[in-house]
Amino acid sequence: MSNDLDTVFAALADPTRRTILAMLLEDDMAVTDVAEPFEMSLAAISKHLVILTKAGLISQEKRGRVKWCKLEPDALRAASVWMQGFGQFEPVNLDAFERFLETELPTADDA
């Protein structure tokens, strides 16, 4: 379990990946749509998506010719349970997490 937690926290450590997660809170997105607001190559975004997928934070599936990304919020459960062990953290409330991400992360409109 420690290795899984390391992978989740490492994935969450990057601001680009946290922004991607915030985008996926709204709905599933095509990889090209995920890449659109970023000033980096599609290959660079794909590397971020691989890290998020390996951490279990998102899943990817091919629908026709398009690869889609979907948020997997249950992947945060183990991290939440681990943090609760310190007695100062509440369980992850996904609605509150979404509100936090909306206030802390710039949107595509702000860029």
Digit-coded pLDDT (tens) for 87-98? 665 666 777 777
Please say whether the beta carbons of 30 and 66 come within 8 A.
yes
Residues 6+ apart with CB under 8 A from 17: 11, 48, 51, 52, 57
Answer yes or no: are the C-beta atoms of 65 and 84 closer than 8 Å.
Answer: no
Structural domain boundaries of the chain? 2-104
Higher-pLDDT residue of 13 and 1 is 13
Q: Please give the CATH number for the structural domain made up of 2-104.
A: 1.10.10.10
Q: How confident is the model at residue 106 (pLDDT cuts 50, 70, 90)?
A: low
What's the rounded mean pLDDT across residues 71-89?
Answer: 78
Q: Which of 39, 73, 53, 48 lies closest to 62, judged by CA? A: 53
The mean pLDDT of 82-86, rounded to a whole number, is 77
The answer to whether the CB of 59 falls within 8 A of the CB of 18 is no
Kindly report, residue by residue over 16-67, the tens digit of the pLDDT. Answer: 999 999 999 989 999 999 999 999 999 999 999 999 999 999 999 999 999 9
Judge whether 66 and 75 are in contact, CB under 8 Å.
no
Cβ contacts of 14 within 8 Å, gap of 6 or more: 48, 51
